[in-house]
């Protein structure tokens, strides 16, 4: 393990924190924006609580547009927007903006699917009991879909770990970037192996945590 | 016949003899009807099948009214129009004295709190405990935690679920889930209970329990119950009046006993025969020897009802008119608490004696019908 110099240890640790920051912050933003979008998509869809095709269709198209843009291109394409939001177009903070955007679109779809899984009968029962639309959303749809929503967040987090490896393109740092720069470009396969191992452990941890939460919450 | 004997014979609990709440059809109703639907029409897609075709219906306060029909007959749409889960294209919906179609959104939500609904698939919140499920309608109506606790504590014993307070639906049997559904529907103290195929997902024994519970609650809480079902046994067990639906129309309605013992429409007959079993066993029929020369054989379906239901008519007929009577099928039962008997007979006699006998039997008030042999 002679290659694992103190300097490299520090680099690995720093890269890990960067990955954690990019994934964590962009996921938090994606949940905060993606859930309302998913609810809007679900509620305004055909057979929803308030079908509004004029809102549902453009919103769906927008979500699909973001989802179909390859991340590496999205990252570069929205640089002006990134500069506006983050004040800079390079670094970890700048990487978070496109990551959050991609994850929001991704999560919005996954959340919408989770909401669709909610038993329509429960919603109908709530309507029959005189619940308002807001009450149905917050007291029926979201709580009943919670295990599915958590599972969706888990999937999104794992995808974000993958996306974050591309953040090196805008100087965002992180484990993936370290693997490319040291492991590939400086011919240090040990570093590459370490990075990959760390990522595997990280993703396993995320997935296990997500699965555990879903099991705890589902009550089925 | 006692209620217990009826329950054993039919597999369903018997209706109590002459429930006090049963309206006398002759007298004008003393109170306004709980539900009055007038001229309801509903078509789901333009050019599609008609779900409701000029349906009018009155459900009197305090009665258990059943709507029976095959799937697709429109009964589900009809019951969903009563709390406007489904909006009719035309017609009037008066429920508990209110014109529901005239209400705004907030008014409709308020009105719905006075109408409980129970569903075929229970529709419980999977992630709420029994107590939390029951408290849902109170929660959305803004009741405090203490109020909800108190109400749940009243409701649990009513449906016999004290021990399951903190269980989740996945831990309950079908019958227990429906008890939760019923307690939830009753939480807001509604005066009308809608049952949408409430026992169709349950086994016969559990069905009997749930029906007994619904009838018991009707009596104790002075509820009006409107239920839809495809099982005539449910109607026989608890309904006071029944309507038969076919292709979006109500084709026949009346007191359960009358409809069972004197069905007019073909569809009704089919439903009724499911329960009272008056089909002629073909195997038995084929084995009857040819009648002796000079005698005629007819198949008779005799319905014993009214004051002479218990008279030994068969023996008397044989003795008086010298008729050979062969019983092919028979059953004695009770419907809506009234006893009745039904029998299919092969009668052999000279034609004149036969005619005289039939006239005598009809004179006793028995419904005698000649079946094609």
CB within 8 Å: B112 and A140: no
Q: Which of A122, A135, A217 sits opposite B140 (nearest CB)?
A: A135
Lowest mean pLDDT among A136-150, A176-190, B106-120, B133-147: A176-190
Mutate to test the interface with A, among B129, B140, B143 (most CBs of A within 10 A): B140
Residue B194: list chain A partners with CB under 8 A.
128
* A137 lies in some domain: yes
Q: What is the DSSP track for B159-182? A: TT-GGGTT--GGGS-HHHHHHHHH
Residue B138: list chain A partners with CB under 8 A.
none
Q: Please state, in angstroms and rounded to a whole number, the distance separating the CA atoms of residues A105 and A26.
A: 12
Mean pLDDT along residues B3-18: 46
Identify the pLDDT of residue B44: 87
Q: Which of A122, A127, A217 sits opposite B85 (nearest CB)?
A: A127
**CATH number of the CATH domain containing A108:** 1.10.3720.10
Mutate to test the interface with A, among B82, B86, B87, B109 (most CBs of A within 10 A): B109
Confidence of residue A65 (pLDDT cuts 50, 70, 90): very high
Comparing B49 with A134, the larger pLDDT belongs to: A134
Residue B137: list chain A partners with CB under 8 A.
129-130
CB within 8 Å: A132 and B136: no
Asked if residue B133 has pLDDT above 80, the reply is yes
Confidence of residue B5 (pLDDT cuts 50, 70, 90): very low
Q: Which of B124, B136, B170 sits opposite A129 (nearest CB)?
A: B136
For residue B188, the chain A residue with the least C-alpha distance is A129
Asked if residue B300 has pLDDT above 90, the reply is no
Compute and round to an integer the Cα radius of gyration of chain B: 24
Q: What is the 3-state secondary structure (H, E, C) of chain A?
A: CCCCCHHHHHHHHHHHHHHHHHHHHHHHHHHHHHHHHHHHHHHHCCCCCCCCHHHHHHHHHHHHHHHHCCHHHHHHHCHHHHHHHHCCCCCHHHHHHHHHHHHHHHHHHHHHHHHHCCCHHHHHHHHHCCCCHHHHHHHHHHHHHHHHHHHHHHHHHHHHHHHHHHHHHHCCCCHHHHHHHHHHCCCCHHHHHHHHHHHHHHHHHHHHHHHHHHHHHHCC
Residue A129: list chain B partners with CB under 8 A.
112-113, 117, 136-137, 140, 184, 188
Considering A180-189, A211-220, B3-12, B99-108, the range whose residues carry the highest mean pLDDT is: B99-108
Identify the pLDDT of residue B47: 73
Please answer whether residues B78 and B57 qualify as being in contact, where contact means their C-beta atoms are separated by less than 8 angstroms.
yes
* A93 lies in some domain: yes
Mean pLDDT along residues A176-199: 90
Q: Return the H-helix or E-strand segment holding B127.
A: none
Mean pLDDT of chain B: 86
CB within 8 Å: A139 and B139: yes
User: Per residue in B348-363, pLDDT tens?
Assistant: 888 888 888 888 888 8
CB within 8 Å: A218 and B127: yes
Q: Measure in Å the smallest separation between the Cα of A71 and chain B Cα atoms.
A: 37
Is A217's Cβ below 8 Å from some Cβ in B?
yes
- Retrieve residue B324's tokens: 């050979």
CB within 8 Å: B85 and A128: yes
Q: Which of B112, B115, B127 sits opposite A144 (nearest CB)?
A: B127
* A1 lies in some domain: no
* A172 lies in some domain: yes
Confidence of residue B301 (pLDDT cuts 50, 70, 90): confident
For residue A198, what are the domain limits? 6-218
Identify the pLDDT of residue B2: 44
User: Per residue in A153-174, pLDDT tens?
Assistant: 999 999 999 999 888 778 888 8
Q: A53-68 and A92-116 are packed helices; what angle lies between their axes, rounded to 10 degrees?
A: 130
Comparing A3 with A151, the larger pLDDT belongs to: A151
Is A133's Cβ below 8 Å from some Cβ in B?
no
Residue B197: list chain A partners with CB under 8 A.
none
* A61 lies in some domain: yes
pTM: 0.85
Ranges of each domain in chain B: 3-114+190-275, 282-371
Domain B282-371: give its CATH code.
3.30.70.260
Q: Please state, in angstroms and rounded to a whole number, the distance separating the CA atoms of residues A208 and A10.
A: 27
* CATH superfamily entry for domain B3-114+190-275: P-loop containing nucleotide triphosphate hydrolases (3.40.50.300)
User: Per residue in B208-227, pLDDT tens?
Assistant: 999 999 999 999 999 999 99
ipTM above 0.90, yes or no: no
Q: Please state, in angstroms and rounded to a whole number, the distance separating the CA atoms of residues B96 and A144.
A: 32
Give the start-end residues of each E strand in B103-203.
115-119, 192-196
Q: Please state, in angstroms and rounded to a whole number, the distance separating the CA atoms of residues B111 and B339.
A: 40
Compute and round to an integer the Cα radius of gyration of chain A: 20
Q: Is B355 helix (H, G, I), strand (E, B) or coil?
A: helix
Asked if residue B6 has pLDDT above 80, the reply is no
Q: Please state, in angstroms and rounded to a whole number, the distance separating the CA atoms of residues B141 and B122.
A: 21
Asked if residue B372 has pLDDT above 70, the reply is no
User: Per residue in B248-287, pLDDT tens?
Assistant: 999 999 999 888 888 888 889 888 887 776 677 777 777 7
User: Per residue in B305-326, pLDDT tens?
Assistant: 777 777 788 888 888 888 888 8
Asked if residue A59 has pLDDT above 60, the reply is yes
Please count the structural domains in chain A.
1
Fold match flag (B3-114+190-275 vs B282-371): no
CB within 8 Å: B126 and A132: no
User: Per residue in B167-223, pLDDT tens?
Assistant: 999 999 999 999 999 999 999 999 999 999 999 999 999 999 999 999 999 999 999
**Contacts with B, A 65-124, CB within 8 Å:** 119, 121-122, 124
Mean pLDDT of chain A: 93
Please answer whether residues A26 and A103 qualify as being in contact, where contact means their C-beta atoms are separated by less than 8 angstroms.
yes
Q: Find all residues with CB under 8 Å of A43, minimum gap 6, and list them.
A: A49, A50, A133, A137
CB within 8 Å: A131 and B119: no
Is A1's Cβ below 8 Å from some Cβ in B?
no
Pairing between β-strand B224-229 and β-strand B192-196 as defined by DSSP bridges: parallel
Identify the pLDDT of residue B30: 58
- Retrieve residue A207's tokens: 């997935």
Please answer whether residues A136 and A49 qualify as being in contact, where contact means their C-beta atoms are separated by less than 8 angstroms.
yes
Q: Measure in Å the smallest separation between the Cα of B201 and chain A Cα atoms.
A: 14
Question: For residue B302, how many other CB atoms are within 10 A of its CB?
Answer: 24
Lowest mean pLDDT among A5-9, A65-69, B1-5: B1-5
Q: Please state, in angstroms and rounded to a whole number, the distance separating the CA atoms of residues B238 and B10.
A: 12
For residue B138, the chain A residue with the least C-alpha distance is A129
In sequence order, the β-bridge partners of residue B250 are B245
* A101 lies in some domain: yes
Q: A142-164 and A6-44 are packed helices; what angle lies between their axes, rounded to 10 degrees?
A: 140
Q: Return the H-helix or E-strand segment holding B39.
A: strand B35-43
Q: Is the dihedral of CA B270, B74, B243, B224 positive or negative?
A: positive
Q: Please state, in angstroms and rounded to a whole number, the distance separating the CA atoms of residues B180 and B308.
A: 45
Mutate to test the interface with B, among A114, A122, A128 (most CBs of B within 10 A): A128
Residue given tokens 């029909």 in the structure block: B69
CB within 8 Å: B117 and A125: yes
Please answer whether residues B39 and B90 qualify as being in contact, where contact means their C-beta atoms are separated by less than 8 angstroms.
yes
Interface of B with A (CB under 8 A): 83, 85, 108-113, 115, 117, 119, 121-128, 136-137, 139-141, 168-170, 184, 188, 194
* A29 lies in some domain: yes
* A74 lies in some domain: yes
User: Per residue in A67-88, pLDDT tens?
Assistant: 999 999 999 999 999 999 999 8
Question: For residue A61, how many other CB atoms are within 10 A of its CB?
Answer: 9
Identify the pLDDT of residue B4: 46
Asked if residue A182 has pLDDT above 50, the reply is yes
CB within 8 Å: A140 and B141: no
For residue A119, the chain B residue with the least C-alpha distance is B123
User: Per residue in B59-84, pLDDT tens?
Assistant: 999 999 999 999 889 999 999 999 99
């Amino acid at each position: 393990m002679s290659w694992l110099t103190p300097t490299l240890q520090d680099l690995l640790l720093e890269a890990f924190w960067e990955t954690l920051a990019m994934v964590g912050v962009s996921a938090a933003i994606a949940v905060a924006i993606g859930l309302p979008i998913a609810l809007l998509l679900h509620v305004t869809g055909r057979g929803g609580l308030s079908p509004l095709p004029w809102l549902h269709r453009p919103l769906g198209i927008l979500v699909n547009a973001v989802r179909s843009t390859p991340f590496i291109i999205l990252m570069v394409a929205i640089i002006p927007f990134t500069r506006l939001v983050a004040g800079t177009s390079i670094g970890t903070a700048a990487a978070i903006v496109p990551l959050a955007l991609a994850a929001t679109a991704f999560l919005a779809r996954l959340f919408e699917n989770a909401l669709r899984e909610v038993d329509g009968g429960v919603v109908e029962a709530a309507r029959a009991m005189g619940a308002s639309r807001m009450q149905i959303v917050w007291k029926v749809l979201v709580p009943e879909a919670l295990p599915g929503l958590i599972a969706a967040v888990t999937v999104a987090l794992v995808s974000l770990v993958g996306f974050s490896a591309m953040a090196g393109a805008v100087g965002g740092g992180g484990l993936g970037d370290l693997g490319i720069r040291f492991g590939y470009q400086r011919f240090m396969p040990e570093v590459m192996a370490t990075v990959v191992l760390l990522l595997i452990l990280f993703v396993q941890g995320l997935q296990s945590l997500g699965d555990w939460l879903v099991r705890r919450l589902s009550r089925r | 016949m006692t209620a217990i004997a009826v329950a054993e014979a039919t597999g369903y609990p018997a209706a109590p003899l002459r429930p006090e709440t049963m309206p006398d059809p002759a007298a004008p109703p003393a109170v306004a009807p709980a539900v009055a639907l007038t001229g309801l029409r509903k078509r789901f897609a333009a050019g599609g099948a008609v779900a409701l075709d000029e349906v009018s219906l009155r459900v009197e306060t305090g009665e258990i009214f059943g709507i029976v029909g095959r799937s697709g007959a429109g009964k589900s749409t009809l019951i969903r129009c009563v709390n406007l889960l489904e909006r009719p294209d035309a017609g009037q919906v008066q429920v508990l004295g209110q014109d529901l179609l005239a209400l705004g959104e907030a008014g409709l939500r308020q009105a719905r709190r006075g109408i409980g609904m129970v569903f075929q698939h229970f529709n419980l919140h999977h992630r709420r405990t029994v107590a939390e499920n029951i408290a849902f309608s109170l929660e959305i109506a803004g009741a405090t935690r203490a109020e909800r606790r108190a109400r749940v504590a009243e409701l649990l014993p009513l449906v016999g679920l004290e021990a399951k307070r903190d269980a989740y639906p996945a831990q309950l049997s079908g019958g227990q889930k429906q008890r939760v559904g019923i307690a939830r529907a009753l939480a807001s103290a509604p005066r009308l209970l809608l049952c949408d195929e409430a026992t169709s997902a349950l086994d016969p024994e559990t069905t009997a329990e749930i029906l007994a519970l619904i009838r018991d609650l009707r009596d104790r809480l002075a509820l009006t119950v409107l239920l839809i079902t495809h099982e005539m046994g449910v109607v026989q067990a608890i309904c006071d009046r029944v309507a038969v639906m076919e292709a979006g129309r109500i084709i026949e309605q009346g007191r359960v006993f009358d409809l069972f013992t004197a069905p007019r429409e073909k569809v009704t007959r089919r439903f009724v025969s499911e329960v009272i079993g008056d089909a002629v066993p073909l195997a038995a029929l084929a084995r009857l020897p040819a009648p002796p020369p000079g005698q005629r054989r007819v198949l008779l379906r005799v319905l014993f009802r009214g004051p002479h239901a218990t008279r030994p008519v068969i023996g008397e007929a044989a003795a008086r008119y010298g008729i050979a009577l062969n019983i092919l099928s028979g059953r004695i039962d009770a419907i809506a608490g009234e006893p009745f008997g039904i029998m299919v007979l092969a009668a052999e006699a000279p034609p004149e004696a036969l005619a005289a006998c039939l006239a005598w039997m009809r004179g006793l008030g028995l419904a005698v019908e000649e079946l094609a042999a």
